[in-house]
């Protein structure tokens, strides 16, 4: 699969400045000398990782009336502030939601981001032209990181125009402790053909990241509808963060909570835009590669309003 080099962005007080690989070291030096909080490492040695499919706002008007994107995107900024995560992967980001995220004061003060909207480049006939990295083809994935993004790139995957976006960060003060975080959104819908395609898309990412020799995380709406789709997790020796912290035999990681991230029974919004829907599924995952240099200290939780 092809790899496309990207840049990251950081608010400099007046604009979202471009951070390229060559300028990363200079930016890191300035950040450390200015003693900016949350730009080089976490204070207590812990990190919080989160993923969320924010639901795009590019649907027909009658669906938009139901999903109320303006209200959801306003909540999203508050949600990110309250969660205060170290690394966040977001799916179904559009230019509208990206602009709202970039206007959020908390995000400006705390995060590097893998995409930026440029009003000067915006073409109303082509939303993609306003995005510097070109990640939002209708909608796409982005990463927000409190840790400086040493390296950013996108990977094309089989059968999809949506790219996986990857950021490399350093954990702690040791420069040898670098890891990759990947935000991805696989092909949707519950069909055997799509299940096979989803497995291939995840393997496409593994084929690029594994040869680097660095640990990595793949997170996002992976759309694993069928139980047998967990086979791709076993085959690649992933650690499923939710399964590890809820399906164990050791307290407090043994409550058996299924962790449905698509729950038409509890989420009243779903039946409104998918009439008759009753399924409960754990579509969203955070998968750690074998040997990842960290361990879970508290059970995973559902990030919800």
pLDDT digits (tens, 9 = 90+) for 186-227: 999 999 999 999 999 999 999 999 999 999 999 999 999 999
Question: Is residue 192 included in any domain, yes or no?
Answer: yes
Average pLDDT over residues 76-84: 96
- Summary mean pLDDT of the chain: 90
Question: Is residue 298 included in any domain, yes or no?
Answer: no
What is each CA distance from 171 to 3, 33, 42, 178, 290, in whole angstroms? 24, 19, 8, 6, 17
Looking at residue 32, its pLDDT comes to 53
Question: Is residue 114 included in any domain, yes or no?
Answer: yes
Helices (H), 4-44: 21-33
Average pLDDT over residues 95-106: 97
Question: Is residue 101 included in any domain, yes or no?
Answer: yes
How far is it, in rounded angstroms, from Cα 165 to Cα 209? 12
Q: Which domain holds residue 84?
A: 3-288
Question: Is residue 296 included in any domain, yes or no?
Answer: no
Look at residue 36 and tell me whether its pLDDT is greater than 60. Answer: no
What is each CA distance from 267 to 16, 60, 97, 188, 219, in whole angstroms? 35, 21, 21, 19, 22
Residues in the chain: 305
Average pLDDT over residues 107-123: 88
How far is it, in rounded angstroms, from Cα 32 to Cα 20? 18
Burial track 243-279 (b if 16+ CB lie within 10 A, e otherwise)? bbbbeeeeeebeeeeebbbbbbeebeebeeeeeeeee
Domain holding 212: CATH number?
3.60.10.10
Question: Is residue 257 included in any domain, yes or no?
Answer: yes
**Quick one: what percent of the chain has pLDDT higher than 70?**
89
Looking at residue 51, its pLDDT comes to 98
- 8-22, 111-125, 132-146: which has the minimum mean pLDDT? 111-125
- 25-39, 79-93, 168-182, 220-234: which has the minimum mean pLDDT? 25-39
Task: Specify the number of domains making up the chain.
Answer: 1
Looking at residue 39, its pLDDT comes to 45
The encoded tokens of residue 276 equal: 């008759």
The encoded tokens of residue 297 equal: 């200290």
Tens digits of residue pLDDT in 245-268: 999 999 999 999 999 999 999 998
Question: Is residue 303 included in any domain, yes or no?
Answer: no
The encoded tokens of residue 118 equal: 């440029």
**Quick one: what percent of the chain has pLDDT higher than 90?**
77
- Compute φ and ψ for 203, nearest 5 degrees: -65, -35
How far is it, in rounded angstroms, from Cα 28 to Cα 94? 29
Looking at residue 305, its pLDDT comes to 56
Query: Are the CB atoms for 220 and 91 separated by under 8 Å?
Result: yes
Looking at residue 246, its pLDDT comes to 97
Average pLDDT over residues 232-255: 96
Question: Is residue 116 included in any domain, yes or no?
Answer: yes
Q: H or E element: which one contains 155?
A: strand 151-155
Q: How confident is the model at residue 38 (pLDDT cuts 50, 70, 90)?
A: very low
| Statement: the pTM of the whole predicted model exceeds 0.85 | yes
């Amino acid at each position: 699969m092809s790899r496309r080099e990207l840049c990251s962005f950081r608010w400099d007080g007046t604009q979202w400045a471009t951070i390229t690989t060559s300028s990363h070291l200079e930016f890191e030096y300035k950040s450390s000398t200015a003693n900016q909080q949350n730009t080089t490492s976490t204070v207590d040695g812990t990190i919080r990782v989160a993923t969320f499919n924010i639901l795009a706002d590019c649907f027909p008007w009658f669906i938009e009336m139901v999903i109320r994107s303006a209200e959801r995107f306003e909540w999203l900024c508050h949600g990110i502030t309250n969660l205060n995560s170290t690394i966040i992967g977001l799916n179904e980001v559009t230019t509208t939601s990206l602009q709202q995220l970039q206007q959020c004061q908390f995000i400006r003060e705390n995060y590097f981001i893998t995409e930026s909207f440029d009003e000067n480049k915006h073409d109303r006939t082509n939303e993609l032209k306003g995005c510097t990295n070109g990640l939002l083809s209708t909608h796409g994935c982005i990463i927000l990181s409190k840790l400086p993004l040493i390296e950013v790139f996108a990977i094309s995957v089989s059968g999809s125009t949506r790219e996986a976006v990857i950021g490399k960060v350093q954990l702690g003060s040791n420069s040898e402790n670098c890891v990759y975080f990947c935000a991805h959104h696989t092909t949707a819908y519950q069909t055997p053909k799509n299940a096979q395609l989803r497995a291939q898309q995840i393997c496409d990412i593994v084929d690029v990241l594994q040869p680097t020799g660095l640990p990595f995380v793949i997170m996002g709406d992976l759309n694993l509808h069928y139980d047998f789709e967990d086979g791709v997790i076993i085959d690649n020796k992933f650690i499923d963060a939710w399964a590890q912290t809820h399906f164990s035999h050791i307290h407090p990681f043994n409550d058996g909570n299924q962790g449905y991230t698509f729950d038409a029974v509890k989420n009243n919004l779903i039946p409104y835009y998918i009439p008759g829907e009753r399924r409960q599924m754990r579509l969203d995952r955070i998968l750690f590669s074998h040997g990842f240099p960290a361990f879970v200290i508290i059970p995973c939780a559902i990030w919800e309003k």
